[in-house]
Structure formats: C-alpha cells, structure tokens
C-alpha cells in the first residue's frame, strides 16, 4: 500500500489507498441436510487520486500491479469529476468495539451443530418443511492511507445465523425465514427459530383479504421490505443536492408523525454495520435524520458535502468497489410504547405484513411503493386469523408516515442494517384476488 501511495504521489497532488481483506467460512445446509462447506479469501485495493483538480480512480481485486493501478487512475483523472473535497489528515477516531477474537475460534463442528439445531427445530415443528440454513463467520480488515497523513485501520468480526423454510401443499407455497448476526459468536439458535415457528403458526390457516383500504401492521421485516427503501434515497445527501429528494428542502419542518425518530448509528458496539470511520477515513458519528417527525439531517460523503456546502457525516461508502458515495451505516428507529399484540387487538379488520415482495420496484423517489404480500396475515376483530395470499398493497411512504397509528415498543435488527420496532399504519390500499 505504501509503495502504491508513494508511486501515486509522484504523479498526482493527492492520493489515497484503500484496502479490504476478508476471510470467511460458511457451513451450508440445503433441503434439511448439510450440503456444502465454503471458505472465501479476498483482498481488494482501490486507488483514488486528485490530479489537476480532478478525481482519478482504479481498483484491483487479487494480485495488484501497482504500476498499472497508477496508470489507470491517471487515465481516468483526465475526465474525472472536479474534486471539491480535501482528504482528511490525521484524525482521532471514536472507539467502537467490533472485533471479537472468539469468532475465528469457533470450531466448524460447532457451526454444523448450530445449523443442525435450527433445521431440527423447524422440521420438528412442521413435518414436510424443507429448510436451507447458513452458519457463517468472517473477519475483515480495512486499511486506508492518504497523502495528507490520514491513516485508519480496523478489524471486524462477523457471525451469522440464517434459516429459510418452504412448505408446499399442492400448489400452495409458504416461505418463512429469519436471520441474526453479530460481531460476537452466536450460540443460541432459539431467538431465530422462535420467529420462524411463530410465522408457521400464524400461517397455518388461510384467510381472505378484501379489496379496500385497510389498517396495516408492518413487522420489523415488513418495515425493511416496504417502507425503508424510499427513505434511503430521500436522506441520501447526493439526491438532496440534486434536488430529487422530496424532503431535501424541508430541514426543520415536520414531515413525519411526531412519534417517528430515525438516526444513522455506526457506533453501536458489536454490530456488523458499526465502524470507527467510513471508507474515506472520516470519523464515524451518530446522525439524526428525523427527530419527532421533524427532518434534521442528511447523509454525506466528502465530495457531496463539499458540493452542498456541508460537512461529511462519515457516510462515504464504497459499495462494489466504486467511488465513495453517501450511504447509511445502520439505521435505528426509536421505539414507541405500543406492543405488537396491542396493535393487533386494536384492529377490527386489517393486515400484518411480514414480507412484501417487489416494493423496491416502484417510483422510489416519489415515495410510492406497491408489492405482493409474500408473507402476511389477516386481522379480524383484534385477532390474527390466518395467512393472506394473492394480495397487493400500495401506498405512499410520505402519506403513511405522516400520521402513524402507533410505533411499536419491541425493536429488532433486520438484515444487519436496520433496527426497528413494528409500525401500525392507518390506511393502505389493498387489492386482492381473495
């Protein structure tokens, strides 16, 4: 890395080298049986330069030829976007615990046992169900150095449990599933399987949904699959800067329900999305996005912040080896006071949505979403009576979140990037074949 930086500094005013290395082990179960053991080793390196005021960029995965990397970066710098930002110099980073050496020490045998325990619990509950399960552990090392003396290095451990089940009866297919992850080793599979068993219980009976406007309770998984995507774009500093975010000019205004607060939080100990700094070496911080319904902030990387006249919020993210761009680390919704059971009890006729399929396909920028209820239940007179199918719901996130019936008290991590309680929403348009 140091050699590449030195070589780049000879031809460019500023340079930055970013390296990620990871080692991962997976134990995979297919159709209720142990099927595959997998290891993945990977190293990739990215060089960003500022030459004649413009950004040049090149990456290499695997064996990197430093000379070629610098040459490619220089070629792209001739056309690159104008660099409005300065790379961060020597920075003090917050301390955030994200590495547990016990993860690497978990024996394969124990990972197999965890997978078998998950599969046995689910198949024991529902005969005929077919389960796929993954138990994985990994360690990732991130290093960054730049020509202004900035340097960052951290190590992160990851342990994940994942189970999916499908139950087929004639041409009826039911999909259930849950996952959990942490920077600590996980040894209790019950938390994951309890949720799957509950899904199976609730889906046992079938119910019909009418075609009309109904109140809907989104479980944490439901919130992730239906409501979060539009907000991800709306709070992205780049979309705000472009003028395409519907709330970009609404800072300080009350756009959402007074009980809704949302922040980006990369500082929660031992969460896989946490980190001491972002992928540009800017220190991590908590960023308030919505406070009691009022828009409070947006997420920025260095370049977007400089263009918009703001400060980077430490959200420069290099997805898939591309240049840093604003992205959340982990979104956290402040819990409310109502339990899930109380929400259900309050509804005379409505739906619970656990998984909505295809909600990301709509007009996300405008907040419109529409999706097929992959896993959801009908509520009648305060009780869940069974699973609904062949049902679509649609709505607009801004309209729905402006006036929420209740935000739940029980919060859960979903997919590693979102911690949320259930949302009880007043009226969504439901279309169904019954």
Partner 1 sequence: MPDIDAVAQSLAAELKNRKSDYTEARFEESQTSHIVYRGKVMESIGRSTASGGNVRALVKGGWGFTSFNDFAKLPDRVSLAVEQARSAGTGKSNLAPIESAVDNIPSGVSQDPVTIPLADKKRLLDEYNEIIWSIPQIKTSNINYSDSRKKVVFLNSEGSYITQERADVALRLTAIAAKDSEVQQVGLSIGSRGDFKAIKGLHQKIKEMSQNAVALLTAPQAKGGEYTVVLDPILAGVFVHEAFGHLSESDFVYENDRMQEIMVLGRQFGVEQLNIVDSAAEPGLRGSYKYDDEGTPSVKTYLIREGKLVGRLHSRETAAKMNEKPTGNARAINYRYPPIVRMTNTYIEPGSISFEEMISDIKEGIYAKNWYGGMTSMEMFTFSAGEAYMIRKGKIAEAIRPIMLTGNVFNTLKNIDAIGNDLDMNQGGGCGKGGQMPLPVSNGSPHIRIQRCLVGGK
Task: Return the residues of window 392-411 that contact partner 1 according to CB under 8 A.
Answer: 392-394
Question: Which stretch, 139-147, 355-363, 402-410, 415-423, contacts partner 1 (CB under 8 A)?
Answer: 355-363
**Min separation Cβ 354 and partner 1, Å:** 13
Nearer to partner 1, 225 or 285 (CB): 225
Question: Which stretch, 69-77, 194-202, 400-408, 411-419, contacts partner 1 (CB under 8 A)?
Answer: 69-77
Binds partner 1 by CB under 8 A, chosen from 79, 95, 309, 381: 79
Which pair of tokens denotes residue 29? 């179960």
Contact string 126-165 vs partner 1 (x = CB under 8 A): --x-x-----------------------------------
**Min separation Cβ 353 and partner 1, Å:** 14
Say which residues have a Cβ less than 8 Å from residue 140's Cβ, sequence separation at least 6: 20, 21, 22, 155, 156, 158
Report strand pairing: 331-333 vs 262-264. antiparallel
Instruction: Report how far Cα 118 is from the mean position of its chain's Cα atoms.
Output: 24
In this structure, what DSSP letter does residue 367 have? T
Burial of 371 (0-12, 13-18, 19+ CB in 10 A): buried
Binds partner 1 by CB under 8 A, chosen from 4, 7, 14, 59: 59
Question: Which stretch, 31-39, 183-191, 343-351, 405-413, contacts partner 1 (CB under 8 A)?
Answer: 31-39
Reference 25, options 98, 132, 112, 116; nearest CA is: 112
Nearer to partner 1, 50 or 268 (CB): 50
**Min separation Cβ 413 and partner 1, Å:** 19
Secondary element (H or E) of residue 120 = helix 108-125
Task: State which of positions 322-351 bind partner 1 (CB under 8 A).
Answer: 322-323
Reference 267, options 98, 403, 107; nearest CA is: 98
Binds partner 1 by CB under 8 A, chosen from 94, 185, 297, 366: 366
Question: Which stretch, 93-101, 149-157, 359-367, 380-388, contacts partner 1 (CB under 8 A)?
Answer: 359-367
Nearer to partner 1, 297 or 366 (CB): 366
Task: State which of positions 201-260 bind partner 1 (CB under 8 A).
Answer: 211, 238, 242-244, 246
Backbone angles phi, psi at 59, to 5 degrees: -130, 160
Say which residues have a Cβ less than 8 Å from residue 161's Cβ, sequence separation at least 6: 114, 118, 133, 134, 135, 179, 180, 181, 186, 189, 192
**Structural contact between residues 350 and 423, judged by C-beta atoms closer than 8 angstroms:** no
Nearer to partner 1, 298 or 340 (CB): 298
């Amino acid at each position: 890395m140091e050699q590449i930086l030195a070589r780049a500094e000879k031809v460019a005013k500023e340079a930055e080298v970013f390296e990620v290395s990871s080692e991962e082990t997976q134990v995979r179960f297919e159709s209720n049986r142990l099927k595959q053991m997998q290891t993945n080793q990977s190293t990739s390196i990215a060089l960003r330069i500022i030459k004649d005021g413009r950004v040049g960029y090149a990456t290499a995965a695997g064996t990197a030829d430093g000379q070629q990397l610098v040459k490619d970066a220089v070629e792209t710098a001739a056309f690159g976007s104008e660099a409005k930002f300065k790379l961060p110099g020597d920075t003090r980073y917050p301390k955030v615990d994200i590495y547990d050496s016990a993860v690497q020490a978990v024996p394969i045998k124990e990972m197999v046992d965890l997978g078998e325990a998950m599969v046995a619990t689910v198949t024991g509950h529902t005969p005929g169900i077919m389960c796929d399960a993954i138990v994985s552990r990994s360690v990732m090392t991130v290093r960054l150095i730049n020509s202004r003396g900035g340097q960052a290095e951290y190590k992160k451990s990851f342990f994940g449990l994942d189970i999916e089940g499908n139950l087929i009866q004639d041409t009826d297919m039911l999909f259930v599933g849950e996952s959990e992850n942490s920077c600590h080793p996980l040894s209790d599979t019950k938390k994951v399987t309890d949720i799957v068993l509950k899904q199976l219980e609730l889906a046992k009976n079938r119910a019909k949904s009418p075609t009309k406007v109904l109140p809907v309770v989104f479980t944490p998984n439901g919130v992730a699959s239906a409501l979060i995507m539009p907000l991800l774009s709306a709070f992205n500093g780049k979309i705000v800067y472009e003028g395409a975010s519907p709330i970009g000019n609404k800072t300080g205004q009350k756009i959402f329900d007074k009980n809704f607060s949302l922040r980006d939080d990369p500082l929660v100990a031992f969460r896989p999305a946490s980190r001491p700094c972002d992928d540009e070496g800017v220190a991590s911080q908590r960023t308030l996005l919505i406070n009691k319904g009022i828009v409070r902030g947006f997420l920025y990387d260095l370049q977007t912040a400089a263009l918009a006249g703001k400060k980077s919020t430490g959200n420069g993210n290099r997805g898939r080896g591309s240049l840093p761009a604003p992205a959340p680390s982990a979104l956290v919704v402040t819990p409310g006071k109502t339990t899930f059971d109380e929400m259900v009890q309050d509804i005379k006729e409505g739906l619970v949505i656990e998984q909505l399929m295809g909600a990301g396909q709509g007009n996300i920028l405008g907040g419109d979403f529409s999706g097929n209820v992959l896993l959801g239940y009908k509520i009648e007179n305060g009780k869940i009576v069974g699973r609904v199918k062949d049902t679509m719901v649609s709505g607009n996130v801004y309209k729905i979140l402006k006036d929420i019936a209740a935000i739940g008290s029980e919060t859960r991590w979903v997919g590693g990037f979102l911690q949320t309680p259930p949302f009880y929403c007043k009226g969504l348009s439901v279309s169904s074949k019954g």
